[in-house]
Amino acid sequence: MVTLGRIDSRAAVLAVLLATVAPVARADPLRASLVVTRGEGAEDCPDTGGVVARVREITGADTVSAPDGEPRETWVQVELVRELSGYRAVIAARGRRQGTRSIEDIGPGCSSLADALAITLVMLLDPDVQPEVKPAPAPVPPRPDPLPPQPAQPKDSVAPATRSETPAARRTGVRFGGEANFGGSMGILAHAVPLVEAGARVGVGSILSFGGGGGILFSDEITAPGGSVDLGLAYGYLRACAEVFENAGSELSLCLEPLIGSLSGEGNGYDVKSPRGKLWLALGGAAELRAPLASSVFWHARLLALAPLIEQSFTVENAGPEQNAFVTPPVGGMMTLGVLVEL
At 233 the pLDDT is 96
Return the pLDDT at 139.
55
Instruction: State the average pLDDT over residues 282-295.
Output: 93
pLDDT digits (tens, 9 = 90+) for 219-274: 999 988 878 889 999 999 999 999 999 887 789 999 999 999 999 988 887 766 66
Q: Identify the weakest region by mean pLDDT among 91-95, 209-213, 297-301.
A: 91-95
Q: How far apart are CA 220 and CA 230, in angstroms?
A: 6
Task: Give the per-residue pLDDT at 42.
Answer: 85
Using one digit for the tens of pLDDT, what is the confidence trace for 117-165? 888 888 887 766 555 544 545 555 666 666 666 665 555 444 444 444 4
pLDDT in tens, 22-48: 333 445 567 788 889 998 888 889 998
- CATH of 6-164 given 3.30.980, 2.40.30, 3.10.450, 3.40.50: 3.40.50
169: burial class by Cβ within 10 Å (0-12, 13-18, 19+)?
A: middle
User: Is residue 49 within a helix (H) or strand (E), and if so which, with residue range?
Assistant: helix 48-59
Amino acid 285: pLDDT? 97
Calculate mean pLDDT across residues 301-325: 86
pLDDT score of 287: 96
d(CA 122, CA 283): 57
What is the pLDDT, as a whole number, of residue 19? 40
| Among 87-91, 182-186, 239-243, the least confident range | 87-91
Domain boundaries, the chain: 6-164, 174-342
Collapsing DSSP to helix, strand or coil, 255 comes out as strand
288, exposed or middle or buried, with CB in 10 Å at 0-12, 13-18, 19+? buried
Mean pLDDT is lowest, of 87-96, 167-176, 199-208, for 167-176
Looking at the predicted structure, is the pLDDT value of residue 1 above 50?
A: no
The DSSP bridge pattern shows strands 208-224 and 193-204 to be antiparallel
pLDDT computed for residue 94 by the predictor: 86
CATH architecture of the domain covering 174-342: Beta Barrel (2.40)
Q: Read off the pLDDT of residues 326-336 as tens digits, 9 standing for 90 and up.
A: 999 999 999 99
Give me the pLDDT at residue 271, please: 65
User: Would you say the CATH fold of 174-342 matches that of 6-164?
Assistant: no
Q: How far is residue 45's CA from residue 257's CA, in Å, rounded to a whole number?
A: 40
Which comes out higher in pLDDT, residue 149 or 87? 87
Q: Is 1 helix (H, G, I), strand (E, B) or coil?
A: coil
Name the least confident of 8-12, 22-26, 103-107, 230-234.
Answer: 22-26
> Which is higher by pLDDT, 58 or 154?
58
